[in-house]
Amino acid sequence: MGSKAVTSSSGAIYYPEQTRDYPHVDLLTLLFDYQITDTRWTSHEDTILHASAENPSQHITKADARKRTKRTAHALREHFGIGAKGAGKDVVTVISTGHYLVPLLFYGVIAADGIFSAVSAASTDKELCNLLTSAGCSLLVCNEATKDVAVKAAAAAGLPEDRVVIMSESGDWSLRRVHQPNKELISDGELGWRRITDQKELADSLVVLIYSSGTTGLPKSVCISHENFVSECCLTQDPMKEKKAIMNPNFEYRTLAHLPIAHIAGIQGYFVNPFYLGGTAYWMPRFDFPKFLEYNKKYRITFFFTVPPIYLLIAKSSEVTDQFDSLEQAVSGAAPLGKELQYAASSKLGQGRTFISQTWGLSESTGSATVLPYGMKDDTGSVSSLVANVTARIVDDEGKDVPVGKPGEIILKGPIISKGYYRNDKANAEAYRDGWYCTGDIGYFNKGNGLFYIIDRKKELIKYKGLQVAPAELEALLLSHDLILDAAVIGVPIEDGYNEAPRAYVVAEQKKISAEQIKRYVAENAASHKQLRGGVVFLDASPKSPSGKILRKDLRELVKRENGPKL
């Protein structure tokens, strides 16, 4: 099982194990109305879709969601004109921590023919102002935790105060203008969504803007269509359902919403996939490790996707005992997961029976572009095989195909791939070539097992005397040391700027381990050109995005500001 390489005189193209049919319908029709033959893993009107992890008596069923989606759409259209001039024209920006009612806003914006655009709840008012301006925001929705930032940003961006709305987080679903808190905007009026079956309209539609992580530069807003969402959902989840029907027919889908809704994992992983599978998402306002442990045990969570920093906590925390005994499927993504960490964390999941699989994808691929087939185990460090209907090439700096097995930039094509960036012709010209999306990730394909391997981001590779060093590889090595709690690696100039060498930023107790000991550990376990000639710097915490990606640009800013000798 796995992907396959087909070579010709022009190069190699990588194909998935299979192609599959998927429904050509809009996202809301898929979730609310699409009928499937096997009803074991599909939502019914009384299915609890979303619940508060703190108080599960506060929840919404499919029937609740159906009614409130239509009422939300009506309120957005009536009070703010969202969708009145046509679909995909009005951007509704959302800045909110996680809660079980926020999916209603997502469904409602799409039902009104608006564009749902979530931004990080950790954004400053200046950052939010820039995003509001660049997107041409029509309406800003916040919750209590983000209200002050939202009000300041809206004023700076010139968005009228009557277009700043606060949503409820518990009890009755409510939308109210921030400056008119006593006036409820949602009424009994309903607006149903448009049922779309035209394939071109589905592919060309714009329903969500999601910001790329911006780990190497300014974030770009990625355009996601109905077809992107539906194909990503069905092409990744349907094969899993079919395998579970045979291997684990009593499986019940329960997940814990702990990642930001501004990340594709939050949108696809909490708003869409659990709904499609008839499962429940229990919502946390933000990630909190003790609560994360408590809720996994309390709700007997069976599935979660999370990021390497959280698996690192699981692996190294003595607080982890039996909290993950019910976990049947664990997936890692957003950044590479080293083999040692993969084993260490997996030993604590599902009573040691649940082995973490890795997926690879981007906002631009609506989430996963690779998945490991359900029931298959891989401990080779791969990011699995291509999702059905997705094809790939691996190219050099000139865009020419490299031989099979050699590293290069992975480029993608398929229904899950975004059509481009919003209002950004320059970024589109750089990222899209002849129908292929250039991911910026360096990787290779193993013909023997049909799996892909990611080395690192193209822009993050370090070149020491012409030899490439992948920061992710050194980070995985450093994390395998018992006394190192976290690590990030970048290249820094040496030899008066004529060369570049790796520097490690580590989180560890300096009383227990020194910089020289860390250098020696790397020297004993890595090739000469990978040595930490750029030094070792101790930090209290590694700078990371809300989705867990290392913010190397922040570390480069530290380098610019540093003075004096380095370790």
pLDDT at 373: 85
Do 14 and 73 belong to one domain? no
Is 234 inside a domain boundary?
Answer: no
Placement of tokens 């799996």 in the chain: 451
Query: What are the backbone angles phi and psi of residue 114, rounded to the nearest 5°?
Result: -90, -175
CATH classification of the domain holding 329: 3.40.50.12780
Decide if 256 contacts 291 (C-beta within 8 A). Answer: no
d(CA 489, CA 486): 11
**Which of 426, 456, 486 marks a domain boundary?**
456
Do 203 and 154 belong to one domain? yes
pLDDT at 496: 64
Low-confidence ranges of the chain (pLDDT < 70): 1, 35, 37-39, 213-218, 466, 495-498, 547, 563-567
What secondary structure does DSSP assign to 153-198, as a single string? Answer: HHHHHT--GGGEEEE-SSSS--EEETT-TT-B---S---PPPP---
pLDDT at 566: 43
CATH classification of the domain holding 494: 3.30.300.30
d(CA 491, CA 316): 27
Do 152 and 294 belong to one domain? no
Do 488 and 420 belong to one domain? no
Do 72 and 203 belong to one domain? yes
CATH classification of the domain holding 91: 3.40.50.980
**Which of 175, 203, 224 marks a domain boundary?**
224
* Domain span including residue 430: 4-20+283-456
pTM (2 d.p.): 0.86
Is 43 inside a domain boundary?
Answer: yes
d(CA 534, CA 565): 11
Q: Give the sheet arrangement for strand 360-362, strand by strand.
A: 360-362, 367-371, 385-386
Do 421 and 485 belong to one domain? no
10 Å CB burial of residue 209 (0-12, 13-18, 19+) is buried
pLDDT at 567: 42
Do 74 and 196 belong to one domain? yes
SS3 119: strand
pLDDT at 552: 83
Do 116 and 82 belong to one domain? yes
pLDDT, tens digit, for every residue of 218-267?
678 999 999 999 999 999 999 988 888 888 888 999 999 999 999 999 99
Provide the residue count of the chain: 567
d(CA 529, CA 359): 29
Is 264 inside a domain boundary?
Answer: no
Do 194 and 152 belong to one domain? yes
Do 390 and 328 belong to one domain? yes
d(CA 480, CA 343): 11
Residue 513: in which H helix or E strand, if any?
none
pLDDT, tens digit, for every residue of 323-348?
999 999 999 998 788 888 999 999 99
Is 384 inside a domain boundary?
Answer: yes
Domain tally, the chain: 3
pLDDT at 159: 98
Is 299 inside a domain boundary?
Answer: yes
CA atoms within 13 A on the CB side of 157: 28
pLDDT at 39: 65
Do 387 and 495 belong to one domain? no
pLDDT at 528: 83
Do 35 and 10 belong to one domain? no
pLDDT, tens digit, for every residue of 380-424?
999 999 999 999 999 998 999 999 999 999 999 999 999 999 999
**Alpha-carbon distances of 46 from 174, 241, 278, 479, rounded to whole Å:** 22, 21, 10, 45
Cβ-based neighbours of 248, under 8 Å, separated by 6 or more:
328
